[in-house]
Amino acid sequence: MAKLAVLGHGVVGSGTVELFLKNKDKINKRGGLDLELGYVLDIRDFPGLPYSDKFTKDINDILNDDDVTVVAEVMGGVHPAYDFVLACLGRGKSVCTSNKELVAKKGAELLKAAKDHNCNFMFEASTGGAIPIIRPIHRCLAANDITACAGILNGTTNFILTKMITEKMSFEDALAMAQELGYAEKNPAADVEGDDACRKICILSSLIFGKHVYPDWVHCEGITKLTLEDVAYAESWGGAVKLIGSVKRTEDGKILPMVAPRFVCSGCQLSHIDDVFNGIMVYGDGFDEVMFYGRGAGKLPTASAVLGDVIDCAKHKTTILSQMWEDSTDNSFIADYKEDSVSMYIRVQGADKTEIENLFGDAEYITREGQPADELAFITPTLKEKDIDEKLASMSGSVLGKIRVLDM
């Protein structure tokens, strides 16, 4: 009989244990396994639970038990999670994690450690919660040349934007509601500044293109500067504003990962994904495009993805080499986003159409209800972003808003 150890008993950790114990017989039968709960590591005490006898405060209890073959790391953060995971892999114990920060910052090293010790490091739950995306990319779509990926990767920001779009709430009021409902933390910076989505696009970029992409190398913008005026112009244009994490291969063979608000046209499925749901589009030569959709976070949805990896690890006796990427010593393979060709929504005050047309040529003007007489909004032609910035810097008046249009 093999044992499962769970590191951390917070929201996801307790959900992982709950779901495993509830469905243990089915899991073992379907997978041809003989797996039981061995340990739950946490510095806190949890008396009165049906599995209170499984708790330990010492990682060595897990490391020194040869019957522990699979470990679920659901602690969050880099330390001490990194040290514990590395130690487990060093003992040949496969590790499954929902920890996006750990994978984004230490993934290449931990994947190498798993390979060196003939076990696995899996992270399906780190990117899309219950949405299967990691396994489809490195297995189901493995025969294709994947050229790009774009998605709504953070449910909190998508909820806030949905409230701004459908109920005309200000960003501040929508954030307060998200906090009240438990979708946003008391300190919401990781969500609203784009850090959470950045870690996820780092993981997807690394897996798709085979080299580790570190968060510090990704241009990242959040949603804190978006206004109801921007939302109204997006609706008038025929789409919606969404926070999009994306990566694509550029013409020179480099890749361009980015997190930023985007105008998304109504013809793109991502424009219709609302509330706390996530959606990820993948583009490739053999299938054109596919979308993965569902709840990207939550106790049981995330636990479901963790346990999917647990079952996979328990069944595989060797490293799954398709779920690997190499480390990167520099970011020379990352393209400069200012050199990318984009179309942009621009909102200005105090400029006139003649000046705009002299600078941008054939601009597409858009309007909104209550638009002031001295305010203009337009979509630029496709130009290099640095050229758009130069033109805006030379234009009279004030730039009130600037958002890229999604075009994958």
Can you give the residue ranges of every domain in the chain? 2-128+300-315, 135-293, 337-405
Could you read off the pLDDT tens digit of each residue along the chain, which spans 408 residues?
899 999 999 999 999 999 999 999 999 998 899 999 999 999 999 999 999 999 999 999 999 999 999 999 999 999 999 999 999 999 999 999 999 999 999 999 999 999 999 999 999 999 988 899 999 999 999 999 999 999 999 999 999 999 999 999 999 999 999 999 988 889 999 999 999 999 999 999 999 999 999 999 999 999 999 999 999 999 999 999 999 999 999 999 999 999 999 999 999 999 999 999 999 999 999 999 999 999 877 889 899 999 999 999 999 889 988 889 999 999 999 999 999 999 999 999 999 999 999 999 999 999 999 999 999 999 999 999 999 999 999 999 999 999 999 998
Task: Report the C-alpha gap between 314 and 300 in whole angstroms.
Answer: 20
Q: What is the CA 259 to chain-centroid distance, rounded?
A: 10
Quick check: is 384 catalytic?
A: no
Pick the catalytic residue: 163, 200, 242, 402? Answer: 200
CATH fold label, 337-405: Alpha-Beta Plaits (3.30.70)
Burial of 100 (0-12, 13-18, 19+ CB in 10 A): buried
Topology match between the domains 2-128+300-315 and 135-293 = no
The CATH class given to the 2-128+300-315 domain equals alpha beta
Strands 68-73 vs 2-7: parallel, antiparallel or unpaired: parallel
Q: Is 22 left (phi over 0), alpha (psi -120 to 50) or beta?
A: alpha
pLDDT of residue 224: 97
**pTM of the full structure:** 0.96
Q: At the fourth CATH level, which superfamily is domain 135-293?
A: Dihydrodipicolinate Reductase; domain 2 (3.30.360.10)
Task: Report the C-alpha gap between 146 and 183 in whole angstroms.
Answer: 32
